[in-house]
Amino acid sequence: MADKKTLVVVESPTKAKTINRYLGNEYVVKSSMGHLIDLPKSRLGVDVENGFEPDYITIRGRGKILKELKREAQKSRKVYLAADSDREGEAISYHIKNSINKDSPALDVKRIVFNEITESAILEAIQQPREIDMALVYAQKARRVLDRLVGYSLSPLLWEKVKKGLSAGRVQSVALRVICEREEEIEKFVMQSYWTIEALFKKSKKEFTAKLIQYNGKKVDITTESEADEVLGKLKSDRFVVIKIEQKERRRKPSSPFTTSKLQQSAGSKLKFSARKTMMVAQQLYEGINLETGPVGMITYMRTDSVRVSKQAIDEVRQFIVEHYKKSYLPDTPNLYKNRSSAQDAHEAIRPTSVFRTPEAVKPYLTRDQYKLYKLIWEQFLASQLPPAVFKLKTVDIQSNGGILRANGKKLLFDGFQKVLKSDSSEKGNVLPDLEVGEVLEPVKVEKEVHFTEPPPRFTDATLVKFLEESGIGRPSTYAPIITTLIKRYYIERNNRQFVPTFLGRLTNELLVKSFPDLLNIEFTATMEEKLDEVEDGKMKWAQLLKDFYFPFMASVEAAKQKLDDYKGITDEETEYICDKCGRKMMKKLGRFGFFLACPGFPECRNARPLPLGKCPRADCDGFVIERRTKSKRVFYGCSKYPECDFMTWDKPVEEGCPQCDGIMVAKKIDGESFLVCYNDECGYKAPVTEKKDIQLVH
């Protein structure tokens, strides 16, 4: 045994490379490349008559990896399973342990976990091996089987009633419902106008504005221009007198370090990252970056719903503050943050593994995206342990002929955490001049301004993740895959980073909501997440959860099969385009990447081609603009006669043709404003977009 080594099994090769650096020659680190054993793809794989036991098999193409791990284990004195410390990681470890012990029953196989890939964390984990946590395994099994039961019941229903290739999922279908309902709100929205009145004053070379907030003792609500003119005339006919001045201090506390959802939200709004991209880059930072001294894990585990931070990390960041900032920037005691009641608290918040590795110091070793995300995480963590920002707020009420106008001022007294997290202009303050009660002010101008109510905004990655988290739908590890699946299935599209449901998505949602109102209910889905947490906590049996769900659900499936109308072919539409192989009029059909043209003579004639989106704008070309894809699968729009015609654009055409030349138009931002622009250079038509509803992308 003396010459035998210890085998450590992790999930990814990058992580293996980083960990291998910290362990000596007595260890061999191998990667499983994720799950090796799972439910079969081609069948249900769940014995519903025998306690919902799953029929696990080795994933196709992974048998060689499993065989190599078992062979390496037979040469080892012990095995440590170091997959991620969550439900999925525990399940991966459980299946690998069973496979190894089946061939080597006497071999000591233990589980080790860590929150960060650093030398101290790895060595500490090696000293504290444990058995597999079966409660975590059961929770993962319950979720996996539950999602399989739903998917394998709903998807065939959609194939039968709509079209082949569709899919439905327990959580993704709820997210789709939310996006579709928001789109319905936008379509039903009726724009209304309202008016505000503001006065501009000047004193001691300082200009400031005051807004009318009250008139004749009532809150201002001006809905017509004639009413605005009447109020404006009365205000101008009298003196403007300061009647009230209030001053107070306001302290704004820093936010906690990032959880998974908050990281996705912040990266979405500040860096314009999708949820999927955020998690991909975070995974790279977690698994290890090659610094000058070798591979190092840069951040803690990125799938967490906890804001807890270890004492060691707090001690380090407080030392960093002492060394880099004035004494006033160190709070007397560390800032502590409270978890949400639903948080599992299995991991720390997302933070740098060492705050002394500043973004600028490691920038040469990071890609541009890695640097941006690391900087975001580093600054948020450092700011979370700095004192509050302190402002002096000043409110001045000015009276004129029954109206009260209010001016608000703000002065930054102490920047606190904003020393690190640079604030926007609204947080820097708007300082008012010195004024006194009873002082008469002479306005520079008093003006009315019309405004229009706006529809609720479409969801983005950031706002959808926020909604899902606040509603208790899904868990940190599921937000990004939910969005990716909806886009992949062509249920939603991204338009200027906003999610727009497709015709297929709306039809699918309508059918599912009609037949399964409980399953697609937000409260029901959130309750199911709580029950899965109860399985993890050992408070509920996994098979009982499935039994309670399955039989009422299947009754709904059988009812839907009988009641649902047949929508097959609903998206098919005859066009004027002629099949160049057999001469038939081609049909507009809906596929997995959107609409396309197909010959109705299938299977005799299998001709198909992209759907033309409009005439090519080149004057000497009679081709059509079609959707194309780069080698990396990025969508662009080019001429059907390529390479004879090299016209291309990244901008997707809108449904409306140019009113001057009937050419294609695209939505473009010019100097910050949205316009519909004709792509025909000889035409030059351009019109401002007055409402979001003006922009309807071609399908």
How far, in Å, CA of 533 to CA of 513, rounded?
Answer: 26
Q: What is the dihedral of CA 338, 344, 350, 355, to 10 degrees?
A: 60
pLDDT reading at 613 higher than 50: yes
Work out the mean pLDDT of the chain and round it to a whole number. 90
Q: Strand, helix or coil at 381?
A: helix
pLDDT reading at 571 higher than 80: no
User: Where along the chain do the CATH 1.10.460.10 domains lie?
Assistant: 141-188+458-563
Residue 329 near residue 270, CB atoms below 8 Å: no
pLDDT digits (tens, 9 = 90+) for 233-264: 999 999 999 999 999 999 999 999 999 999 99
Neighbours of 509 (CB within 10 A): 24
Residue 73's pLDDT is 95
pLDDT reading at 691 higher than 70: no
- Greatest alpha-carbon span in the chain: 99
How far, in Å, CA of 531 to CA of 544, rounded?
Answer: 10
Buried b (16+ CB within 10 A) or exposed e, 238-262: eebebeebeeeeeeeebebbbbbbb
Neighbours of 642 (CB within 10 A): 14
Mean pLDDT of 160-174: 87
How far, in Å, CA of 511 to CA of 162, rounded?
Answer: 9
Mean pLDDT of 367-376: 97
Record: fold of 193-253+389-452: Topoisomerase I; domain 3 (2.70.20)
pLDDT reading at 592 higher than 80: no
Torsion sign (Cα): 454, 459, 465, 467: positive
Torsion sign (Cα): 15, 99, 50, 558: positive
Mean pLDDT of 448-468: 94
Residue 481's pLDDT is 92
Of 613, 598, 635, 692, nearest to 487 (Cα)?
635
Residue 618's pLDDT is 81
Q: Which residue's entry shows tokens 């029950």?
A: 531
Least confident of 178-192, 368-382, 466-480: 466-480
Parallel/antiparallel/unpaired status of strands 76-81 and 5-10 = parallel
How far, in Å, CA of 44 to CA of 677, rounded?
Answer: 51
pLDDT reading at 424 higher than 60: no
How far, in Å, CA of 19 to CA of 294, rounded?
Answer: 11
Residue 428's pLDDT is 53
- Confidence category of residue 697, pLDDT binned at 50, 70, 90: very low
Burial label, 269 (beta-carbon count in 10 A; 0-12, 13-18, 19+):
middle
Residue 343's pLDDT is 65
Residue 161's pLDDT is 87
How far, in Å, CA of 337 to CA of 325, rounded?
Answer: 23
Least confident of 296-305, 360-369, 427-436, 478-487: 427-436
pLDDT digits (tens, 9 = 90+) for 76-126: 999 999 998 889 999 999 999 999 999 999 999 999 999 999 899 999 999
Angle at 153 between CA 152 and CA 154, to 5 degrees: 100
How far, in Å, CA of 625 to CA of 648, rounded?
Answer: 8
Tell me the helices (H) and strands (E) count for the chain, helix number first. 18, 31
Q: Which residue's entry shows tokens 């008469």?
A: 440
The first and second tokens of residue 586, run together, are 């081609």
How far, in Å, CA of 408 to CA of 246, rounded?
Answer: 10
Which positions are annotated as active-site residues? 301
Q: Which residues pair with 585 in a beta bridge?
A: 578
- Long-range contacts, 165-170 (Cβ 8 Å, 24+): 165/592, 166/489, 166/504, 166/508, 167/485, 167/489, 168/508, 168/512, 169/485, 170/146, 170/519, 170/525, 170/528
How far, in Å, CA of 460 to CA of 483, rounded?
Answer: 10
Q: Rounded to whole angstroms, what are the CA distances from 516 to 84, 170, 510, 524, 561?
A: 35, 11, 10, 11, 12
pLDDT digits (tens, 9 = 90+) for 626-642: 888 887 777 888 888 88
> What is the DSSP annotation of 540-607?
S-HHHHHHHHHHHHHHHHHHHHHHSPP-TTTT-EEEEEEPTTT-PEEEEEEETTEEEEE-TTTTT---
pLDDT reading at 2 higher than 90: no
Q: Rounded to whole angstroms, what are the CA distances from 612 to 163, 586, 640, 661?
A: 23, 12, 8, 17
Torsion sign (Cα): 621, 624, 629, 635: positive
Residue 695's pLDDT is 42
Of 699, 666, 453, 682, nearest to 588 (Cα)?
699
Backbone angles phi and psi of 434, in degrees to 5: -70, 125
Mean pLDDT of 618-633: 81
Residue 584's pLDDT is 92
Residue 696's pLDDT is 44
pLDDT reading at 612 higher than 90: no
Of 228, 213, 200, 222, nearest to 403 (Cα)?
213
User: Where along the chain do the CATH 3.40.50.140 domains lie?
Assistant: 5-132
Residue 218 CB partners (closer than 8 Å, separation 6+): none
Please give the share of the chain, as a percent, with pLDDT higher than 90.
68
pLDDT reading at 685 higher than 90: no
pLDDT reading at 190 higher than 80: yes
Residue 441's pLDDT is 95
Q: Strand, helix or coil at 407?
A: strand
CATH architecture, domain defined by 141-188+458-563: Orthogonal Bundle (1.10)
- Confidence category of residue 216, pLDDT binned at 50, 70, 90: very high
State the pTM of this model.
0.82
Neighbours of 576 (CB within 10 A): 6
Record: fold of 290-384: Topoisomerase I; domain 4 (1.10.290)
Beta-sheet strands, E only, within 433-584: 440-441, 443-452, 492-495, 498-501, 573-578
pLDDT digits (tens, 9 = 90+) for 278-334: 999 999 999 999 998 888 999 999 999 899 999 999 999 999 999 999 999 999 999
User: Where along the chain do the CATH 2.70.20.10 domains lie?
Assistant: 193-253+389-452
Helix/strand/coil (H/E/C) assignment for every residue in 59-84: CCCCHHHHHHHHHHHHCEEEEEECCC
Residue 694's pLDDT is 40
Q: Strand, helix or coil at 5?
A: strand
Please tell me which residue, 293 or 64, carries the higher pLDDT value. Answer: 64
- Confidence category of residue 682, pLDDT binned at 50, 70, 90: confident
How far, in Å, CA of 546 to CA of 551, rounded?
Answer: 9
Mean pLDDT of 594-610: 87
Record: fold of 5-132: Rossmann fold (3.40.50)
| 479-488 helix and 172-188 helix, angle to the nearest 10 degrees | 70
Of 671, 692, 670, nearest to 453 (Cα)?
692
Please tell me which residue, 690 or 219, carries the higher pLDDT value. Answer: 219
- Confidence category of residue 693, pLDDT binned at 50, 70, 90: very low
pLDDT digits (tens, 9 = 90+) for 426-442: 455 578 999 999 999 99
Residue 359 CB partners (closer than 8 Å, separation 6+): 371, 374, 375, 378, 379
The first and second tokens of residue 677, run together, are 């622009």
The first and second tokens of residue 407, run together, are 């001016």
The first and second tokens of residue 661, run together, are 């030349």
